[in-house]
Amino acid sequence: MKVLVAVKRVVDYKVQIRVKSDNSGVETQNVKMSVNPPDENAIEEAVKLKEQGLANEIISVSIGDDKSQDVLRTSMAMGIDRSILVKSQNTLEPLAVAKTLKIIIDKEKPDLVLMGKQAIDDDSNQTGQILSALLNWPQGCFISNLKIENNKVFISREIDEGIENLETSLPAVLTCDLRLNTPRFASLPNIMKAKKKPLETIDIDTLGIDTSSKIKTLKVIEPPKRKAGIMVNDVKELVQKLKYEAKVI
């Protein structure tokens, strides 16, 4: 089985983001960037499938500028065999990302595609679902458990009501929840080894797809700030405040 993992480079989840002063977006220059957290779960799951002998080749793909090489190197340090960077100067919307991935998938012919359930920058939560529809492959979203046996795929999905269990088959597109696994840390020797693994670069303009934005961002603003509250001294005061000041109990 061949597994393809899609990886996005995003502002690190620990960074307190800043809205640009001209309200054109969020500051991403000179900010720590990392692998989108649920994409790390997708990488980890692919590496586990290889360790279990279920996958024989695992590859990662990212779309972005040259700097996106670093998240691909990270994925290879975690155990991915080789990577593909689709070079694009522009930020792509989920539909364009899925179309781009489809072209890579048509060429690479993986049996399974894994990615995070959403990117923590635009919080769209769409790409896996769109890709599954474009490929006409089964979709399994927000998965927290995966078992593959004889070409059968058993997944548990995190839904608002609890957990949903589905059975499907390969090839499939699965999007990963943070609870799917615990991503490993790349060891120093593995980081060194990853530098020698193959990283292919493809210019997005050569793929012949429409990647233009369909959505125009008019402005990006800071959310309204909550005004600072007070500290109460004890439970009695808290309950009195809630009853007579806030009037919520």
- Between 159 and 192, name the residue whose CB sits nearer to other proteins: 159
- Between 77 and 141, name the residue whose CB sits nearer to other proteins: 141
Query: CB 200 → other proteins: shortest distance, Å?
Result: 26
The distance from CA 92 to its chain's CA centroid, rounded to whole angstroms, is 14
Q: How many Å apart are CA 206 and CA 47, to the nearest integer?
A: 30
Query: CB 121 → other proteins: shortest distance, Å?
Result: 6
- Between 62 and 139, name the residue whose CB sits nearer to other proteins: 139
- Between 126 and 190, name the residue whose CB sits nearer to other proteins: 126
Q: How far is CA 38 from CA 44, 77, 208, 215, 221, in A?
A: 10, 17, 29, 25, 26
Query: CB 110 → other proteins: shortest distance, Å?
Result: 17
Q: How many Å apart are CA 207 and CA 219, to the nearest integer?
A: 31
Query: CB 36 → other proteins: shortest distance, Å?
Result: 12
129 three-class SS:
helix
Amino acid identity of residue 129, one-letter, is: Q
Query: CB 103 → other proteins: shortest distance, Å?
Result: 14
Q: How many Å apart are CA 61 and CA 192, to the nearest integer?
A: 20
Q: Phi-psi region for residue 214, left (φ > 0), alpha (ψ -120 to 50) or beta? A: alpha
- Between 69 and 126, name the residue whose CB sits nearer to other proteins: 126
- Between 36 and 83, name the residue whose CB sits nearer to other proteins: 36
Q: Read off the DSSP letter of residue 81.
A: -
Query: Could you tell me the end-to-end alpha-carbon distance of the chain, in angstroms, rounded to an integer?
Result: 57
- Between 179 and 184, name the residue whose CB sits nearer to other proteins: 179
Q: How many CB atoms lie within 10 A of CB 203?
A: 10
Query: CB 126 → other proteins: shortest distance, Å?
Result: 4
Q: Residue 245: enclosing H or E segment and its boundaries? A: none
Angle at CA of residue 133, ends 132 and 139, nearest 5°? 40
Query: CB 8 → other proteins: shortest distance, Å?
Result: 14
Structure tokens at 189: 């020797």
